[in-house]
């Protein structure tokens, strides 16, 4: 039996407590509201230019489903293609195995420091922490990831990990943590970016090993594709002698022609750009040009178990664009750290519980309930993941796994009451006595199980007369 490493953060708070903390942080909520609102508006404009956007979404969905249906075939084809072009493929069943492989490969080079391209997969498995425990320092080169790393913080967004920080906070982090920060550093974005560029350039030029993730892999040719906006990825993928890529097994596309669909969907959905500023592609090893050793670590870590769920498997279509986060009313008010996972927002609420697949992990099990089910996430998803459908599916699974609980007993009792008009009317009459608990039209504290509800919100006082009673009295 393979034990998977949880994708939730070690020691993370339970979702409700973290959410309450976020709701009380007015600066955080202001940062999130401004950032998500800006990205949301720009994305809508970029997508609005496309007359065939819905056709592209359908094509993206079909391609992803084709890969997931025949994943074993495409993975073997990818391995063959990478090997034929001088790369080495490693298979990792879980996070521990993937971390052990990467650490061993780094040690074999004699390096004690690696530069990293932003990667959700390496964050999922806790690679930075595993490398540090093994005596290797990992340097994040994406600007937002660098801010998070220097601030000893957690990413709060898939696309913009430091979305919860404003520029004054970033300036303080740089002054406190960056050893070579220039004097008189201001919070002007251009100045902050230049300070980070100077700091990272020295790391790029001295690094012997780089670690990356992957947005896509082309099965036919063994090509790996990374999309980024700053150029830091290009430096990591070309300068070091050894390149190690950690990739989730679902990131495949069959052919180069299929890649065309996603190179249109992803930039507009994520950064609201017509095309990505930097699209880096490498295929195995090219003698005398770029890294001379390439290793591809194919990561399962719960993905095959997720694939077995005919409803939940659609979460594996995700191309990490973050469009769902930017339209989610829950995420906008609580931020990514409240989810306790490297995958926040709506996609995290359906992906994390399936990758963890541990009924004792209350944090992961709570995530499907962190949604209003408004459906905005489904409307913007470029690969048409029906997130509300998966949320309700996972909620039902969670309730079933818990067995008989006070909540399930209360729901059964409510169903019994609502199934009979006479029982329903008697219940309404009994509920009217709750008016005795109210003041000024509100009930601030309910007894028994109702106390959990009123601990964070007031309940309205029931009306003096129910609609059914009013109808009988006035309409016969």
pLDDT, tens digit (0-9, with 9 covering 90-100), for 286-340? 999 999 999 999 999 999 999 999 999 999 999 999 999 999 999 988 888 888 8
- pLDDT tier, 9 (very low <50, low <70, confident <90, very high otherwise): very low
Q: Provide the percentage of residues in the chain whose pLDDT is more than 70.
A: 94
Average confidence (pLDDT) over 80-86: 98
Query: In percent, how much of the chain has pLDDT > 90?
Result: 65
Is it the case that residue 5 has pLDDT exceeding 70?
no
Q: Measure the CA–CA gap between 309 and 1, rounded to whole angstroms.
A: 19
Q: How far apart are CA 355 and CA 341, in angstroms?
A: 11
User: Are 299 and 425 contained in the same domain?
Assistant: no
Residue 84 — very low, low, confident or very high, per pLDDT cuts 50/70/90? very high
The answer to whether residue 367 sits within a structural domain is no
Q: Are 148 and 170 in contact (CB under 8 A)?
A: no
Query: 211 and 65, same structural domain?
Result: yes
Span 401-420, mean pLDDT? Answer: 85
Q: What is the pLDDT of residue 373?
A: 95
The pLDDT score that the predictor gives to residue 158 is 85
Asked if residue 146 has pLDDT above 50, the reply is yes
pLDDT tens digits, one per residue of 28-67: 777 788 888 888 999 999 999 999 999 999 999 999 999 9
Average pLDDT of the segment spanning 405-411 = 80
List, for residues 102-137, the tens digit of each pLDDT value. 999 999 999 999 999 999 999 999 999 999 999 999
pLDDT of residue 119: 93
Q: Which residue has the higher pLDDT, 156 or 348?
A: 348
Nearest to 249 by CA among 57, 59, 80, 67: 67
Question: Mean of the pLDDT values across residues 16-39?
Answer: 72
Residue 385 lies in a domain: no
Claim to verify: residue 298 and residue 425 sit in the same structural domain: no
Residue 334 CA to residue 153 CA, distance in Å, equals: 16
Average pLDDT over residues 57-85: 98
Which pair of tokens denotes residue 254? 């069959």
Question: Cα separation of 188 and 158, whole Å?
Answer: 24
Residue 209, in any domain of the structure: yes
- Same domain, yes or no: 59 and 201: yes
Q: Assess whether 218 and 73 both reside in one domain.
A: yes
pLDDT of residue 436: 78
Residue 24: pLDDT band by 50, 70, 90 thresholds? Answer: low
Return the higher-pLDDT residue of 14 and 179. Answer: 179
What does the pLDDT read at residue 18? 58
Among the candidates 266, 283, 303, a domain finishes at: 303
Q: What is the mean pLDDT of the chain?
A: 89
Q: Is residue 254 part of a domain?
A: yes
Q: Which helix (H) or strand (E) holds 114?
A: strand 113-116
**In this structure, what CATH number is given to the domain that contains residue 211?**
3.40.50.10420
Rg (CA), the chain: 25
Q: What is the mean pLDDT of residues 152-169?
A: 85
Q: Are residues 298 and 426 in the same domain?
A: no
Q: Is the pLDDT of residue 12 over 70?
A: no
Do the domain assignments include residue 326? no
pLDDT score of 444: 86
The reply to whether 117 falls in a domain is yes
Of 174 and 2, the one with more pLDDT: 174
Average pLDDT, stretch 60-81?
A: 98
Of 277, 303, 329, at which residue does a domain stop? 303
Q: Which domain range does residue 288 map to? A: 15-303
* DSSP secondary structure letters along 290-352: S-SEEEEEEE-TTHHHHHT-TTGGGGGG-----HHHHH-HHHHHH-GGGGTBSS-HHHHHHHH
Whether residue 4 is contained in a domain is answered as: no
Among the candidates 303, 338, 361, a domain finishes at 303
Query: Domain check: are 33 and 180 in the same one?
Result: yes
Is 381 within the bounds of a domain? no
Query: Is pLDDT larger for residue 100 or for residue 445?
Result: 100
Question: What are the backbone angles phi and psi of residue 44, rounded to the nearest 5°?
Answer: -60, -40
pLDDT of residue 11: 34
Report the alpha-carbon distance of residue 472 to residue 466 in Å, rounded: 10
How many domains are contained in the chain? 2
Pairwise CA distance, residues 79 & 284, whole Å? 11
Pairs from 281-290 (Cβ < 8 Å, separation ≥ 24):
281/223, 281/224, 281/225, 282/223, 282/224, 282/237, 282/243, 283/85, 283/221, 283/222, 283/223, 283/224, 284/82, 284/84, 284/85, 284/86, 284/87, 284/222, 285/85, 285/86, 285/87, 290/237, 290/238, 290/243
State the sign of the Cα–Cα–Cα–Cα dihedral 201, 121, 327, 358: negative
CA distance 297 to 99: 10
Least confidently predicted of 35-39, 166-170, 300-304, 355-359? 355-359
Residue of 3 and 275 predicted with greater confidence? 275
Residue 20, pLDDT above cutoff 60: no
Put residue 139 in one of left, alpha, beta given phi > 0 → left and psi -120 to 50 → alpha. Answer: beta
- Count CB atoms within 10 A of the CB of residue 74: 22
If one compares 298 and 467, the residue with the highest pLDDT of the two is: 298
């Amino acid at each position: 039996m393979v034990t998977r490493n949880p994708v939730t953060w070690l020691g993370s708070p339970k979702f409700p407590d973290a959410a309450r903390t976020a709701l009380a942080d007015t600066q955080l909520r202001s940062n999130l509201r401004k950032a998500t609102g800006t990205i949301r508006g720009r994305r809508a404009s970029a997508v609005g230019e496309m007359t065939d956007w819905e056709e592209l979404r359908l094509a993206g969905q079909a391609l992803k489903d084709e890969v997931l249906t025949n994943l074993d075939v495409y993975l073997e084809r990818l391995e063959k293609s990478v090997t034929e072009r001088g790369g080495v493929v490693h298979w990792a069943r879980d996070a521990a195995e993937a971390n052990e492989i990467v650490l061993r490969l780094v040690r074999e080079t004699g390096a004690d420091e690696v530069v990293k391209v932003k990667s959700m997969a390496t964050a999922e498995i806790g690679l930075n922490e595993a490398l540090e425990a093994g005596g290797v320092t990992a340097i994040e080169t994406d600007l937002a990831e660098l801010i998070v790393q220097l601030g000893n913080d957690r990413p709060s967004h898939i696309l913009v990990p430091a979305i919860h920080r404003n520029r004054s906070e970033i300036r303080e982090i740089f002054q406190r943590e960056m050893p070579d920060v220039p004097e008189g550093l201001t919070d002007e974005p251009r100045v902050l970016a230049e300070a980070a560029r100077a700091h990272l350039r020295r790391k790029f030029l001295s690094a012997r090993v780089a670690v990356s993730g992957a947005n896509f892999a082309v099965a036919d040719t063994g090509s790996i594709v990374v999309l980024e906006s700053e150029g830091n990825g290009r430096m990591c993928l070309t300068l070091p002698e050894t390149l190690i890529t950690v990739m989730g097994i679902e990131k495949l596309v069959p052919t180069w022609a299929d890649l065309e669909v996603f190179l249109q969907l992803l930039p507009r959905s994520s950064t609201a750009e017509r095309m990505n500023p930097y699209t880096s592609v490498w295929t195995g090893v090219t003698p005398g040009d770029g890294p001379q050793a390439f290793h591809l670590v194919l990561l399962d870590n719960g993905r095959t178990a997720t694939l077995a769920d005919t409803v939940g498997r659609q979460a594996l279509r995700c191309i990490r664009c973050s469009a769902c986060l930017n339209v989610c009313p829950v995420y906008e008010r609580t931020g990514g750290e409240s989810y306790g996972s490297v995958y926040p927002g709506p996609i995290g609420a359906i992906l994390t519980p399936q990758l963890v697949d541990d009924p004792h992990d209350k944090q992961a099990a709570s995530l499907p309930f962190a949604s209003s089910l408004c459906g905005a996430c489904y409307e913007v998803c470029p690969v048409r993941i029906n997130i509300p459908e998966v949320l309700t599916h996972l909620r039902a699974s969670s309730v079933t796994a818990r067995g008989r609980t006070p909540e399930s007993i209360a729901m059964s009792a409510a169903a019994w009451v609502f199934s009979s008009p006479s029982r329903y009317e008697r219940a309404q009459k009994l509920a009217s006595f709750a008016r005795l608990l109210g003041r000024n039209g509100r009930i601030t504290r309910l007894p028994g199980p109702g106390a959990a509800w009123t601990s964070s919100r007031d309940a309205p006082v029931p009306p003096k007369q129910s609609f059914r009673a009013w109808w009988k009295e006035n309409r016969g």
